[in-house]
Amino acid sequence: MPFKNNYGYWTDNNLLLNDFITRFNAAEISSETFERLWNAIDKNV
Give the C-alpha separation, 45 to 9, whole Å: 22
Residue 2: phi and psi, rounded to 5, are -65, 145
Is 0.75 surpassed by the pTM of this model? no
pLDDT of 41 reads: 85
Give the C-alpha separation, 26 to 6, whole Å: 21
* pLDDT tens column, 1-45: 666 776 666 666 788 889 888 888 888 999 999 999 988 987 755
